[in-house]
Amino acid sequence: MAVTPSGAPHRPGLIGSVVGRVAPAVMRQIDTNDLVDALDVDVIAADLDLDALIERLDVNAIAARLDLDALVARLDVNDIAGRLDLDALLARIDVDEIAGRLDLEALIGRLDMAKLTAGAGQDVAVSGLDLVRRQIVRVDATVDGVVGRVLRRDPGSRPDAPGRLAAPAHTPSGAVADPHDLQRRDVSGHYAGPVTRMLSVVADVAAVVTLNAGFVAVVAFVLGAIFGVDPSPQVTALLSLGSLATVFVAWFWIPVALFGRTPAMALLGIAVVRRDGGVANGTRALVRALVLPVSIFVPVLFLGLVLSRERRTLHDAVAGTTVVYDWGAREAEQPVTIREQLSARVRRRELDVAADDAAGVPAR
């Protein structure tokens, strides 16, 4: 029984007593199904102002009350996936209808074929260039290995890379390599081999000579055709020699100071760095360019590429620089050398013989 504010029990009036006794009896007589059937949902939906109802909804409050973690935890993904009939779902997909609705001409029109073609051509060119580089690196490793065997040099006596570029060893010393695991190795930052370096010097010098010859020819044409001057052979020789020296120093200095490599070095994937692996500045690049002609005119100095520990020549030693493999954003890779392939074949044969002996199989 309800209680009034004064503490006295609240007694319903006459009308309240009548309603309290009649209402339960009336509710028992009402058929809920008949009541629901009598409702016209369309009329109710038409009378509803959905816009006003949505505006009154506080989405933030509803989202704050939702426990998403608990909801996700109650989802049984395996049960849902088990109830999906993928075959029936795929069977209901009309591929022909989907294809019929596609506007292929508009789709092709939105494709930038020039960009796609240029990208594909660039990828092919880069792949071809990397293939050539890998084979040259392979020759470098082969030459280095042959020289090491002739000189009976300990394979671990020479560092692979300058201090800052040396990667920590991942395999313990003395570990025997798996003969079946013959893959390309990343040699980025390693000292560049003799073949790659000699090819870069030859290519750069050839480019300098060609460029200088063209420059001298243009100057001689301008002097003769425009100014009517016919220089003597001595003057022409001095002009050629002076321009050659200027072009040579500029070619081997400015690109190295700015980009760390000459054009031929960039093509072959090598770069000039300090002896400790840091970036070579413009002063070192200039000293290197000035001393390089001495190395060129005394080719025996290039023996340092295979004899010295750090594979440096005279101009590298004077400038305090060295040359390493550097393919830019991509890893410089060394394929398996011929010597490694032969050694792996012998090693596999030894393992096969040992396995046959253990199994009691007669020797073949």
Q: Residues 249-278: pLDDT tens digits?
A: 999 999 999 999 999 999 999 999 999 989
Cβ-based burial of 185 (10 A; exposed 0-12, middle 13-18, buried ≥19): middle
In contact, 204 and 292? CB cutoff 8 Å: no
- pTM over the 0.85 mark: no
pLDDT digits (tens, 9 = 90+) for 270-307: 999 999 989 999 999 999 999 999 999 998 888 888 88
Of 361 and 138, which is predicted with more confidence?
Answer: 138
DSSP symbol at 157:
S
Is the CB of residue 193 less than 8 Å from the CB of residue 335? no
Tell me: pLDDT of 97 over 90: no
HEC-encoded secondary structure of 218-236? HHHHHHHHCCCCCCCHHHH
Cβ atoms < 10 Å from Cβ of 162? 20
DSSP 3-state of 323 = strand
Check pLDDT > 70 for residue 190: yes
pLDDT digits (tens, 9 = 90+) for 129-160: 888 999 999 899 888 888 888 888 887 778 88
> Could you give the CA distance from residue 350 to residue 342 in angstroms, rounded to a whole number?
13
Q: How far is CA 357 from CA 100, 138, 343, 351, in A?
A: 68, 36, 21, 10
Mean pLDDT of 170-181: 47
Is the confidence at residue 8, as pLDDT, over 60?
A: no
What would the mean pLDDT of 190-218 be, rounded to a whole number? 93
- Give the residue among 12, 29, 32, 28 at the shortest CA–CA distance from 20: 12
Stretch 68-95: mean pLDDT: 80
> DSSP string spanning 266-313?
HHHTEEEEETTSSB--HHHHHHHHHHHHHHHHSGGGGGHHHHSTT---
Backbone angles phi, psi at 304, to 5 degrees: -60, -20
Looking at residues 100-123, what average pLDDT do you find? 70
Percentage of the chain beyond pLDDT 70 is 78
Could you report the per-residue pLDDT of 325-359, keeping only the tens digit for each? 999 877 887 776 666 656 666 676 677 677 767 77
Dihedral angle computed from the Cα positions of residues 60, 62, 67 and 69, in that order, rounded to the nearest 10 degrees: -60
At position 126, the amino acid (one-letter code) is V
- The predicted model gives 300-321 an average pLDDT of 89
